A and B are shown apart, each in its own frame.
Chain A
Amino acid sequence: GAVVSQHPSRVICKSGTSVKIECRSLDFQATTMFWYRQFPKQSLMLMATSNEGSKATYEQGVEKDKFLINHASLTLSTLTVTSAHPEDSSFYICSASIESSYNEQFFGPGTRLTVL
């Protein structure tokens, strides 16, 4: 149980285009979903926290107009990287949590974005 999927797993796009990444909780309803970014040999950096039906909360330094998050249902959140540039190339990982005593997060398999 507690499986999270992401689509696509890899995407290559041209500079200036927009890319949408989907995150789904397959067998549970997630109260909260998180979006992380990981550069090579670095740790996961939280970008934003989203709850179904409400606006996402962005971490300091993350541009909300560039990284659009839509949390349409309890099982789906999307991250759109708008006007992507080469510096946005990274590994994007989502996670979903079930409300519990310690709010364990279940991670998706990640999306490798390469912007040319």
Chain B
Amino acid sequence: GQNIDQPTEMTATEGAIVQINCTYQTSGFNGLFWYQQHAGEAPTFLSYNVLDGLEEKGRFSSFLSRSKGYSYLLLKELQMKDSASYLCASNSWGKLQFGAGTQVVVTP
């Protein structure tokens, strides 16, 4: 069956780095998305990985290992506005399978 796991919550201080891990077991895999979602709002696109390796985009980077079914999202130089839920989603047969989300709390 399809399964996507990520931690429930992570706390870090402003200016620090946080790494959110995601493991997945899905069929028909065609890439891994990361989204940011603030409470009561729709998800916003952060990154997409389909090949193994690291994709860097400003303060956010995302990594994928297809053989291990593993991805991570790295948030650097954390800001208070980064407090949100981060969703890992597998593109499986043209549909997105979402993880439960990781709530990141940034403290002063």
- Which A positions have Cβ atoms within 8 angstroms of B? 32, 34, 42-46, 49, 91, 93, 102-110, 112
Contacts and interface: CB of A to CB of B under 8 A. Distances in A.
Interface residue SS majority, chain A: strand
A107 B91 contact: no
Interface of B: 30-31, 33, 35, 40-45, 48, 50, 87, 91, 94-101
A67 B4 CA distance: 26
Contact of B40 (A42, A103, A107, A112): A112
B96 A105 contact: yes
Given A42-B100, A43-B87, A44-B87, A104 B40 contact: no
Contacts of A107: 35, 42-44
B30 A102 contact: yes
B40 A91 contact: yes
Given A42-B101, A91-B40, 18 more contacts: A34-B95, A34-B96, A43-B99, A44-B43, A44-B87, A44-B98, A46-B95, A46-B97, A49-B95, A93-B42, A102-B48, A102-B50, A102-B91, A104-B45, A105-B96, A107-B44, A109-B41, A110-B40
Contacts of B44: 107
